[in-house]
Each structure stands twice: as C-alpha cells, then as structure tokens.
Amino acid sequence: MNRLGLQRPDVEFVSCNRIHSPDPGMERLEAIYRVKGKDIAKVEDWLVRFAKVSRLKFACCGWETREGEFTGRDGARYTIGMGGEARVSQRSELAKIPFLNLYITHYLYEP
C-alpha cells in the first residue's frame, strides 16, 4: 500500500502473489492485508469514501464488501475490497472479529 500512496497504520501487509490464469485477461497481482477487528469499522469507512466500496455485509459465514476501484499514483488501475470468515454476524460486534482481509488486485492486462 505504501507504493500506491495508501499508507495506513491499521492495515498490516500479509502477502503479494501473482495469480496465473488460463483465461485471457485474468492474470493478476493480488496483495493481501490484514485488518484487526478493532480497526474494521474505520477501514471500512475509508474504503467507502476512497474507492466507493459497499459497506460490509454478512453472508453465510463471513463478511464481505463489493469491490471498488482506484487509480494508484503509478497510474495503474486497481480493485480493492475487504472480507473474511467470521462467527460474528452483528455489525455492532465487528470489533470481536480477530481480523478481516483487505485485497488489492491489479490485472496485468487491460483492454
């Protein structure tokens, strides 16, 4: 996130991987970050403002947003979203979730 100009003290880097795909246009880089439960609500607010991400919704066995988009300071387009499994299903208890993942994806081919 630092290289994209998105530094946040409440988001911890986990990994970055190249995802190979036989489908044309689907090869991508995916960075995964961790957001602790106590920080989920404020990171969600930032995502809504910054990338027009939908609010977290509980579905089945976890929380998820719809992905948003942004252009990095490198000029490339990225998608961003947050989610993960959780036993907590009430928004008022988000802080009890150990963590959710924040995903930033950059597709290597853009038409």
| Residue 5 pLDDT greater than 80, yes or no | no
Q: For residue range 43-85, what is the model confidence (pLDDT) as tens digits?
A: 999 999 999 999 999 998 999 999 999 998 888 899 999 999 9
Report how many domains make up the chain. Answer: 1
Residue numbers of the domain that contains 62: 2-107
Say how far apart CA 39 and CA 47 lie, in whole Å: 12
pTM for the structure as a whole: 0.88
Q: For residue range 12-53, what is the model confidence (pLDDT) as tens digits?
A: 999 999 998 888 778 899 999 999 999 999 999 999 999 999
